[in-house]
Amino acid sequence: MLTQSDCKIANDKQDASWRCPYCSHPALSREIPPHPVTLRSILLPIEIYRRIAQIDDLIEEQTSADDAERSKPHPDIFEAALARLQDASAEEAVAIGDSPYGAIAAGKVGMVSIGVLSGGFPEDELRAAGYSEIYEDCAGLLQHYGQSLLTRKKAA
C-alpha cells in the first residue's frame, strides 16, 4: 500500500525538478496487464518504488543493475531480462525508456522500444536513437495504451 511517507522519501532523495509520476495517478498501472519489467533504482531500494507505483502484482520478473556487467548503451540489462523470460524472444518484447541509451541497447538485442520525454532528452534525439514511439510521459503512454506497440506486439 502506498503511503505518504514513501512519496516523501522518494521526493526528498531527488532534485527539485523531479516529480513522482505516480502521486497524481496512483491507479494508472491497474489498467495494464502483468508484464515483465526492468526497473532501475539508484537512490532507494526498488521495493519502495514498486510500492509507490502499486505494481507488485504486475511484475513477473525483475532485473537490476546487479544483473548487468555493463550499463546502457550496452545491451546487458536487456539480455538479462530476456534470459529470465525463457518463453519470450526479443522480437516479442518492447522496451520502454527515457534516454537514447535505452533505445540503442534494446536495438542491439532486436527489441523495439517506446520512449518517454520525462527523462529530459529532446524528442528528436530519442527518435534518432531508435525509439519507435514517443510519449510525453508514462501517463501519456497509458492514455494511448490500446494503440501503442505494447498491444500491437501482443496481438501479433
Domains of the chain: 4-155 (3.40.50.1000)
Asked whether residue 68 carries a pLDDT value surpassing 80, the answer given is yes
Q: What is the mean pLDDT of residues 6-21?
A: 44
Query: CA distances (Å), 8 to each of 3, 19, 33, 44, in order?
Result: 9, 11, 28, 12
Asked whether residue 20 carries a pLDDT value surpassing 90, the answer given is no
Residue 53 pLDDT? 75
Asked whether residue 30 carries a pLDDT value surpassing 60, the answer given is no
CA-based torsion, 13, 106, 72, 104: positive or negative: negative
1 vs 56: which has the higher pLDDT: 56
CB 79 within 8 A of CB 114: no
pLDDT grade for 74, boundaries at 50, 70 and 90: very high
Residue 102 pLDDT? 95
- Within 20-95, residue ranges assigned H as helices are 46-53, 76-84
pTM to 2 decimals? 0.71
30 vs 106: which has the higher pLDDT: 106
Of the chain, the percentage scoring pLDDT greater than 90 comes to 43
